Amino acid sequence: MFSPILSTKLFVPPPRSRAVLRPRLVERLNEGLRRKLTLISAPVGFGKTTLVSEWIADCDQPAAWLSLDEGDNDPVRFMAYLIAALQTIAARLSADAAMGEGVLRALQSPQSPPTESLLTTLLNEIAAIPDDFALVLDDYHMINAEQVGSALVFLLEHLPPQMHLIIATREDPGLPLARLRARDQMIDLRAADLRFTPSEAAEFLNQVMGLDLSVEDIAALETRTEGWAAGLQLAALSMQGRSDAASFVQAFTGSHRFVLDYLVEEVLQRQPEPVRRFLLQTAILDRLIGPLCDAVTGREDSRVLLDALERANLFVVPLDDQRRWYRYHHLFADVLRSRILEEQPDVVPSLHRRASAWYEQNGLPADAIRHALAAGDFERAADMIELAWSPMDLTMRSATWVAWARALPDDLIRARPVLSVGYAWALLDSGEMDGSEARLRDAERWLDAPSNDMVVADKEQFRSLPATIAAARTYRALAFGDIPGTVKYARQALDRVPEEDYYRRVEVTILLGLAQYASGDLESASRFLTDLQAKTRKSGDVLPAVGIAFLLAEIKAAQGRLQEAGIAYQQALQLAADRSAPAAAGTTDLHRGLGEVYLERGDLEAAAHHLQTSRSLGEPDVRNGWQHRLYIAEARLQAAVGDVDGALALLDEAERVYVRGPLPDVRPIAAARARFWAVQGRLTEALGWAREREVTHDDDLSYLHEFEHITLARVFIARYRRERQDSAMHQAASLLERLLKAAEDGGRMGSVIEILALQALAHEAQNDLLPALAALERALTLAEPEGYVRVFVNEGPPMAALLREAAKRGIFPNYVNRLRAAFGQAERETPPVSPLVEPLSDREMEVLRLLGTEMSGPEIARSLTVSLSTVRTHTQNIYTKLGVNNRRVAIRRAEELGLL
């Protein structure tokens, strides 16, 4: 995926340049090694990169260096380069130089696993590196992708003790900096720290830059630049060869922008015309290498010229020890670009076109597309974007792809059926259903009436276009709950998808199973998906099998088979763990589903554990909507411990991240919110929800709206309790009776149990004790074998009173007593903690106590007079026994258990 000869990333520290080694800052950087993170955050030109590179050159700490750019907002590219940087360290420290290769292969698989799962695997490999080292992320301000930021947060939270992270950036990154500072896990250097002091400025100007300035001139420059490193350097360059340095210093005033423009103009004007032309023409490039610069400028000696520019200290920064790749100092590049746009605006597009052609010829389509777009060469860019769709979709990089597509003129996209369909799928992935429909129609127009105006770059994709469109329409119909439409388009797709297109056929077949699920025919859906799962497993393709296992577990839970559902989730997790890749996409939803099973069965601790695991795994691909489902599950748990306001806040988050998709939305966020309002007595809001959604007691019933209608019955019962309005109770009773029959007919025993419990509460509200107990007994009969708890406990005091009456009459005595005990647990904010199955040994307890300190692994080993590998063995045993996977969580878990 990445051409080795074109790897422009810097994986080792940049070569040492002429600079001032600043002891006060070196001391701060050395101090940071005892913490997880050193953040160097200051505006452009404050010498962040120079400081770190000089420090690394003079310390004993091995380091890997990664220079970031806009392209690294692609999570796959970021991960690939991160691994490559770490491999350089592993090789230098005689560790496994092939570390991360399995993760790299997983990144390039058709369905890449979750980023955090990949990072977990990578972190385990990092932990095997024997010595301390640092990883530098330079120019982190170029990163704005939430997925990359989330990956870095995960990395920091689980950072092995021998690894130290250094971030150099123009602006603070979106990391939990306040928490890291509060825990003394980071230090930061700011502009005030990086400003040159008068003595540092004197050493730089006179010794490094070779000037002979007086104390007064140095003081004046230091004051007027406010210690700004770039200002000092630019001033020194402009003064070289001048005999009137004092006059120059006296005239040196103005804001940073003015000073920069003035000095760069001075520098540019002093260059020979061929050099000046080269600087301006290559300013459009983020990175420079001889052949690329030759292609852009028409020269044949760019490599030689780049070497000369570096020797002249003309803001050219080498990016590798071989002096092959360079970049301009960012300030210098900015000014060069503004200058060429001002002087030769008509030349800039042609420069971008040449760069694009070179990148395309050398196998870097992403850079080729970027420069083609910058050139306004939209036809050529569209060709490359169209050809990039299929491989990027398979590796879940549609977010990057759609950003390119959005930059194209609309009429150009509409003339390209393959591009239109790719755009439609990318929009479907992000939940933009209306936009996807328009793009599908654009493509269908060409199939109905092809003409010479139609443009196709990817001929192979065009041949399968009818099948691809039908598959997209299947996805879209199911996302809208259109079951007949789903079946219609799925059959069309299967008729048109070639037998050898295995992934597309499986995808469409799964959608057919989901249509049965959405219709409420759970038994048929279960049989259909079970047969499909057997076929996929027989073919050896585990990824679809894991996805189908998740759907089957969801169905079993809806059928009221909690025990089978729990087993199904666990088996799916095991199936994912058995893959050669670190983890399978979808494990976030598996842990979420398992957490909800534990929650329903009253094991709040296990539920919290699995929901937290789901969040920590956090897939970068949002297409399956796992985020909003997790927030809903977390809201249920929050309500279970008595924090309904917190639950409502979580539902707000669920709504914010909601992505419409084909998985049946059987628990709509708005209805869940109305339930919590009813619990809080906010009936005006709850009834307003029903009016807004047009949910009434005499609607036609369907599985997709069952949750909403049960919610409405709850609101009616709450209204009757407050207002004693007979019509509200009549409406609730008739609705519940119809819902009960529909759920029983569909085999949805989970809903049946809830409906019977509500019928019992409706009778109790009317003081009809015998029918209330009869309905309750029916519910208990179904619920007891599966261990249901929350469906009763969530109903609060009225249900507690009914269970008390049931206990008096000997109805399911053991089960009822367990449910009554659970009402006391519902008032606790945290669930009780069970003891460890296997206790920690005395030595493991010693290691555990030291893990709670700031000591590193080697320091712990020295303290206990054992080898580092022994400490790591004890640590892994501790993690296994505590059921955790990192140091921080281990300490928290030990505190919960009273071990610390």
Enter the tokens of residue 431: 């939940």
The residue type found at 662 is P
Residue by residue, DSSP assigns 488-535 as HHHHHHHHHS-TT-HHHHHHHHHHHHHHHHHHT-HHHHHHHHHHHHHH
In this prediction, the residues of the chain whose per-residue pLDDT falls under 50 are 1-8, 253-256, 258, 580-584, 620-623, 825-835
Conformation bin of residue 315: beta by default, left when phi > 0, alpha when psi is -120 to 50: left
Burial of 343 (0-12, 13-18, 19+ CB in 10 A): exposed
Distance CA 867, CA 857 (A): 10
Cβ neighbors of 652 (< 8 A, separation 6 or more) are none
Distance CA 225, CA 258 (A): 12
Cβ 891 vs Cβ 157: under 8 Å = no
Enter the tokens of residue 279: 């600087």
Enter the tokens of residue 789: 């708890």
User: How do strand 316-318 and strand 186-189 relate by DSSP bridges?
Assistant: unpaired
User: For 324, which DSSP code?
Assistant: -
Cβ neighbors of 867 (< 8 A, separation 6 or more) are 861
Distance CA 556, CA 288 (A): 58
Q: Which helix (H) or strand (E) holds 186?
A: strand 186-189
pLDDT at 260: 58
Cβ 371 vs Cβ 405: under 8 Å = no
408: nearest Cα among 424, 385, 392: 385
Cβ 421 vs Cβ 468: under 8 Å = yes
Distance CA 290, CA 319 (A): 13
Q: Which residue has the tokens 């004007």?
A: 269
417-427: pLDDT as tens digits: 999 999 999 88
Burial of 126 (0-12, 13-18, 19+ CB in 10 A): buried
Q: Which residue has the tokens 């076929």?
A: 535
Distance CA 151, CA 114 (A): 10
Distance CA 83, CA 96 (A): 12
Cβ 739 vs Cβ 710: under 8 Å = yes
Gyration radius of the chain over CA positions: 32
Enter the tokens of residue 296: 């852009």
Cβ neighbours of 43 (radius 10 Å): 14
Sheet holding 37-41, edge to edge: 63-67, 133-138, 163-169, 37-41, 186-189
Residue by residue, DSSP assigns 881-892 as HHT-SSHHHHHH
Burial of 685 (0-12, 13-18, 19+ CB in 10 A): middle
User: Which residues are bridge partners to 188 per DSSP?
Assistant: 39
Residue 766: φ, ψ to 5°: -95, 10
Cβ 163 vs Cβ 135: under 8 Å = yes
User: For 699, which DSSP code?
Assistant: S
Burial of 657 (0-12, 13-18, 19+ CB in 10 A): middle
DSSP tally for the chain: helices H, then strands E: 48, 7
CA 287 vs. chain centroid, Å, equals 28
